[in-house]
Every structure is written in C-alpha cells, then in structure tokens.
Amino acid sequence: MTFILARSWQKTARSSSSLVVNLSRGLHTARSSTVSPSTTNSVNNDEIAHFSKLSSEWWDEKGEFSFLHKMNPVRMQFIREKLLEIAQEENPELESGDMLAGLDVLDVGCGGGLLSESLARMGAKTLGIDASGSNIAIASLHAAADPKLSPSSTSPNLSYLHAPAETLLSQPKRYDVVCSMEVLEHVDNPAAFLSTCAELLKPGGHLFLSTISRTPLAYALTIFLAEDVLRQVSSGTHTYSKYIKPSELVQFFRDYPQQNTNDSISDSSTPLSLARPWISTHAGSNYLPRLEAELRGLIYNPLRARWHLAPRDAWGALECNYIFWVRKPMN
C-alpha cells in the first residue's frame, strides 16, 4: 500500500505542479486587480454540480458529510472562544457570555446549513448563502422543521439565499462575522474569493475560514484514503492543486490592504497607500499576533471518531485540515 500511495501521490503532484504554481500566483495577483462581481466570479460550475448531486445527504450524519457533522462542534468551539477572547481583551471585566448573540453573520458556501443552524441557535442573525440551489433548498427545508429556526417564527435568526458571495458586494450591508468553512479548496480563484469575503466585513469584523493544506499528508488522507480506498467521500470531491497552505493564507492577509482598488464597492475612504495590512508581521515570520490572526489544526482521531482543536503552535497540526481567523482593521 505504501508503494501504491507513493506512486499515486507522485502522479498527482506531477500533473498538478503547474496548477499549484498558478494557484499560488493567484493569491498574490488578484489583490491588485479591480474587485467587482463581474470580474471576480470564483464559482466553479463543476464543483457546484458535484455538490448539488449530493445535497440530499447533507443531514445524514452517517453519510457523505459525516466528517463535517463531527467537525461542526469543533468549528463552533473555535469561533465562540475566539470572539470571547477578543471581547475580553477589549473589556477586561467581561467574564463570559455568548458573543454571537445579536451579531450579523454571513455563512458563505453554507451547503446544507450545518454551520448556519449552529450560528443561529447561538443568537447570531445568520444569512447562509450558496451557489447551489439544491443545497439552499435542503438547508431551508431542514430549518423549517424547527420552530425556532423557521422563517415563520416570531424572531427568525436564520435565512438563506441562493447566490455566490460576489453578488452581495453591490449591497450596502456588511457583517460582523463572515464564515466560510471547507469552501476555499473548491473555488476557482481563491484570491478573488478571499477579497470578496474580506470586503463583506464591517471594520473590526471577524473572518473565519477552514480548509485543507497542500501537503503529501493531506493528499494521502483526504484523497487517496478517504476517496480512493475507504470510499467515505465521493471520488472527485477534492482537487489537490486547489489546497491552500496556511503560509499562503497568512501571506495574503499580510499583503491585503484594508480596502481594495475599486472605490465603488469599498467601505472605507482611507487611501490605498495608507491602508494597513490585516496582519502586521513580516513575511517569513511564524509569529501571528493573537489579536490579528490565528491558525489552529483540526485533528481527526479515528479511534474515537472525533475531531479536536489542536493547541496553538502544536507541531505538525497544520499539515492537513486547519481553521484560520483574521480580523479586519478598525480604521
């Protein structure tokens, strides 16, 4: 099996090497381009068709999305703990509480609504969007079965919209929190997608992303093992060349200005030359200021069939699945 795995890995690495280079380059070049719904469409129609076919399985906890069902509590743990940490930094007298209550939250690529429902149950005013109409139909149907989440409830916290994120840029509304979980590795233009998510945040807002790193271990676990051997995930769900290394994500926000070059959709009057980067440390540094950004590994324990959040700076924890938080500068 080791030999087969090595040959399979080498074949994929060779065939996708040019794509990897283009992907990495894209994370840098799109920042300087004009960001608009017409020029930054990151939707991949093949990916949408793939997940649309699987939409009926979203709420089957033992089916296609079983790993995401198990991962969801850990994602929510990180979001709640990070928001509380920042709130306590700004208000040392604050002891506890759910920081999601009353916040405007956008869940980009919400799928069947696993994360959206959890956010809404915590009191967040949640909008889940997805480019797949089938996913939105399933998410809406599942939410409607719960009186607390149904649109007919007295104070609904959850709504869904069939739309890619780029279409929201022309609207004035911005969000306290933008989440996009297990989506980045499925888009065509990751830099444009990240720019869109960033633009949809209010100043001081929080961006949460989870994705997969581009490493041999990630290929072995998420494609060779999960798709080809165990068949727990449909073949073709993941494309290795689309995986994003944590260092690439961090560098994007080191270089990313507070606003982009399109004044028509920018929410800031700060000149581009004066806009501060979201992450202030220099390139090559492994240090992330905890009030600006954070990376944590998401580790799956097959013996317990559970995910857990790796400690900060745990060795090797970012080699496969990971979660990332970054905060938009206030001014």
Kindly state the DSSP code that residue 279 receives in the 8-state scheme: S
Kindly state the DSSP code that residue 34 receives in the 8-state scheme: P
Name the strands in the sheet holding 104-108, side by side, starting at the edge strand that comes first in the sequence: 158-162, 125-130, 104-108, 175-181, 201-212, 321-327, 293-301, 306-309
Q: Which two tokens stand for residue 196?
A: 């869109």
Do 235 and 308 meet the contact criterion of CB atoms below 8 Å apart?
A: no
Do 246 and 322 meet the contact criterion of CB atoms below 8 Å apart?
A: yes
Alpha helices in 145-211 (DSSP H): 190-199
Do 173 and 284 meet the contact criterion of CB atoms below 8 Å apart?
A: no
Do 172 and 187 meet the contact criterion of CB atoms below 8 Å apart?
A: no
Q: Binding residue per annotation — 206?
A: no
Do 245 and 234 meet the contact criterion of CB atoms below 8 Å apart?
A: no
Q: Binding residue per annotation — 186?
A: yes
Kindly state the DSSP code that residue 324 receives in the 8-state scheme: E
Kindly state the DSSP code that residue 179 receives in the 8-state scheme: E
Q: What span, in angstroms and rounded, lies between the C-alpha atoms of 25 and 21? A: 6
Binding region: 75, 109, 130, 181-182, 185-186
Binding residues for S-adenosyl-L-methionine: 75, 109, 130, 181
Task: List the binding residues for Mg(2+).
Answer: 182, 185-186
